């Protein structure tokens, strides 16, 4: 449902992108947060709107195709398939599959804070 083409046509969503951008400029974002915006490959009138979502639990299963160039050289082309393991209706995948632009606020802190608290109760400094 997404257009992965290098020359994808974004003309159908310019009003939405302008509105998202103006809202960010007017309201700001917390430090370290960026927006991951994905747009379905639909005509303007088919886009149902914008959904603020969470990122779905999903991943790419990578595969490599062995190919030979016109000059006889071997090379490998990265391919694969997208696997979504999340059935939530509050995810970016759901939004895109249902004709919405998805907006996911993301940040780079991957720390699992509940486990930090748990690990701090362990006796990690006691050496036997």
Residue 19 domain-assigned (yes or no): yes
Residue 93 domain-assigned (yes or no): yes
pTM of model > 0.85: no
Residue 63 backbone dihedrals phi, psi, to 5 degrees: -135, 155
Q: Are the CB atoms for 47 and 16 separated by under 8 Å?
A: yes
Domain coverage including residue 107: 11-55+88-119
Residue 26 domain-assigned (yes or no): yes
Residue whose tokens read 């919405």: 100
Q: Are the CB atoms for 60 and 82 separated by under 8 Å?
A: yes
**How many residues are given for the chain?**
128
Residue 63 domain-assigned (yes or no): no
Residue 20 domain-assigned (yes or no): yes
CB within 8 A of 14, min separation 6: which ones? none
Mean pLDDT of each 10-residue bin along the chain, 128 residues long = 81 93 97 95 95 95 95 95 93 96 94 93 87
Written as six digits, the tokens of 64 are 């490599």
Residue 66 domain-assigned (yes or no): no
Q: Is 27 exposed, middle or buried (0-12, 13-18, 19+ CB in 10 A)?
A: exposed
DSSP symbol at 100: E
Helices marked H in 1-128 — which ranges?
A: 14-27, 92-97, 113-119
Q: What was the pLDDT predicted at 94?
A: 97
Residue 102 domain-assigned (yes or no): yes
Q: What was the pLDDT predicted at 1?
A: 62
The span from the CA of 91 to the CA of 95, in Å, is: 6
Q: How many domains does the chain have?
A: 1
Residue 103 domain-assigned (yes or no): yes
């Amino acid at each position: 449902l997404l257009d992965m083409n290098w020359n994808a046509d974004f003309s159908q969503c310019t009003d939405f992108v302008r509105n998202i951008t103006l809202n960010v400029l007017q309201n700001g974002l917390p430090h370290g947060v960026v927006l991951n915006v994905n747009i379905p490959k639909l005509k303007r009138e088919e886009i149902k709107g914008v959904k603020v979502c969470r990122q779905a639990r999903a991943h790419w299963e990578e595969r490599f195709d062995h190919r030979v160039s016109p000059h006889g050289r071997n090379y490998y082309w990265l391919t694969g398939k997208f696997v979504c393991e999340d059935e939530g209706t509050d995810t970016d995948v759901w939004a895109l599959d249902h004709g919405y632009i998805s907006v996911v606020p993301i940040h780079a802190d991957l720390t699992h804070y509940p486990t930090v608290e748990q690990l701090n109760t362990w006796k990690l400094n006691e050496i036997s």
